[in-house]
Amino acid sequence: MDYRLDDIDRRILFELMRDARNTSAPTIAEQVNVSPGTIRNRISQLEANGIIRGYTVGVDFERADGHLTNLYVCNAPVSERKSLARDACAVPGVVNVRELMTGRRNLHVLAVGEDTEALRRITRALSELGIEIEDETLVEAETDSPYGSFGPDEAVPTTEATDFISLAGDANVVDVTVQEGAPIVDRTLEAAVREGVLDDDSLVIAIERGDRVLTPHGTTEIRPDDIVTVLSRSGDTDGVLEAFVDGETVANEG
């Protein structure tokens, strides 16, 4: 895929998976140390790239209306699996269909019915589609949790790059959130290079500011909380970071 996740994206996904309904952009922004506009912009990008596919509500159908939830473990020919999954989704009562990368038991269908007769109707409808039902069982409970690897470490790093990628030779690309007391703050890119704050071998190629992505020019001023993407031709990542982080904070952490 073209879109590359960084730590900010992963934290957003973690928080939304944990509780999308009660998690706001300002709440995530406070934890990740960026602006709410940046969070909203990232969410829009994640949605546009198909990484966030939607927001669902977990419902206890038994408590809601005394309904039964049934899991059908099915077999479908590999060549027809996707089309059969789409057809199964259209069966009244079906609430989820999962395709598995395996030869058998490769289609899991979750359905809800008001009673056992309703579930039998769903069983017949699935069979008429050509789906072989190998096993079925009533679901007692289901528990979701966010993906731990996307969650926070003991402390969210605020003086390091949020993402890093190596290129051919010694070059690399680094994303960094600009800190309040960083040497480059309130300087134009042109002035930063002229005054030696930014190395000649470093090129700012993108700036994310709130809900906007800016194309940098020599006259562009860098502001606190900007998320800056920098190409370092020399590969001197530490030297690049010095321009964008608060030197006093780094000294205290050291």
Q: What is the mean pLDDT of residues 196-200?
A: 89
Q: Which residues pair with 202 in a beta bridge?
A: 232
Portion of the chain with pLDDT greater than 90, in percent? 54
Q: Which residue has the higher pLDDT, 211 or 90?
A: 90
Q: Above 70 in pLDDT, residue 158?
A: no
DSSP state of 178: P
- Mean confidence (pLDDT) of the chain: 87
Residue 250: the pLDDT is: 44
Question: Do 191 and 228 belong to one domain?
Answer: yes
Question: Do 175 and 239 belong to one domain?
Answer: yes
Residue 156: the pLDDT is: 44
Number of structural domains, the chain?
3
Question: Do 245 and 175 belong to one domain?
Answer: yes
- Report yes or no on 27 lying in a domain: yes
Portion of the chain with pLDDT greater than 70, in percent? 90
- Report yes or no on 158 lying in a domain: no
Residue 63 CB: number of other CB atoms within 10 A? 8
- Report yes or no on 223 lying in a domain: yes
Residue 144: the pLDDT is: 82
- Report yes or no on 176 lying in a domain: yes
Question: Do 91 and 45 belong to one domain?
Answer: no
pTM exceeds 0.85, yes or no: no
CB 133 within 8 A of CB 73: yes
Question: Do 168 and 245 belong to one domain?
Answer: yes
Q: Which domain holds residue 231?
A: 163-253
- Report yes or no on 72 lying in a domain: yes
Question: Do 168 and 122 belong to one domain?
Answer: no
Question: Do 169 and 248 belong to one domain?
Answer: yes
